[in-house]
Amino acid sequence: MSTAIYPGSFDPITLGHLNIIERAAKIFDELVVTVMFNAAKKTPMFTLEEKLEMVKKSVAGFENVRVESSDGLLAEYAKQFPGAVIIKGLRAASDFEYEFIMDQVNKNMNPELETMFLTADHEYTFLSSSIVRELASYGAELKGYVPDVIIEDIRAKIAEGGK
């Protein structure tokens, strides 16, 4: 059985992430979407639990996708899935520069670990969680940026003072 892991900070999950999930789920027998911490992103808008819930709601329709979280290193986490590959989405050349380094660092810790890249479909190349957070902070329309099922969660977070 082929397994892939799609890790991310998902703060929050966007339609760009969902597009990668949908495409990866067609290629692999099983896809594990893993909500993790990105040390470079110091002040997430959502807690790990909130992000996990939003990802779970968003992928509820996919039979071969499950959602987990981890506060550890990706290279260590992946060892529990022997033979699994990491999936990363690329929107632009700048994403590749960063992901190339991540691949090397992960391979240093776990030489068996392969990363495969899916390029973003053109309608999502501009889309990021940070753009969504900014739009949300101004009360802008979020339809078309994030899965419909999490729009209220984002609105509620803003209402309670989330930035």
Our CA angle for 90, 94, 100, nearest 5°, is: 70
Q: Indicate which single residue of 32, 74, 136, 146 sits in contact with ligand PNS (rule: CB under 6 A).
A: 74
Within a 10 A sphere around the Cβ of 55, how many other Cβ atoms? 27
State yes or no: residue 16 binds ligand PNS (CB under 6 A). Answer: no
Catalytic pick among 17, 51, 88, 133:
17
Beta strands 85-90 and 65-69: pairing type?
unpaired
Q: Is residue 51 a contact partner of residue 10, using CB atoms and an 8 Å limit?
A: yes
Q: Which of 4, 5, 9, 15 binds ligand PNS (CB under 6 A)?
A: 9
Q: In the annotation, is 41 catalytic?
A: yes
Kindly tell me which residue out of 4, 13, 21, 36 binds ligand PNS, with binding defined by CB under 6 A: 36
Q: Return the range that interacts with ligand PNS (CB under 6 A); candidates 42-50, 72-80, 114-122, 147-155.
A: 72-80
Write phi, then psi, for 6 (nearest 5 degrees): -110, 100
| Beta bridge mates, 31 | 4, 65
Which member of 2, 26, 27, 38 binds ligand PNS (CB under 6 A)?
38
Helix or strand or coil: residue 16?
helix
Interacting residue ranges for ligand PNS, rule: CB under 6 A = 7-9, 36-38, 41, 73-75, 102, 105
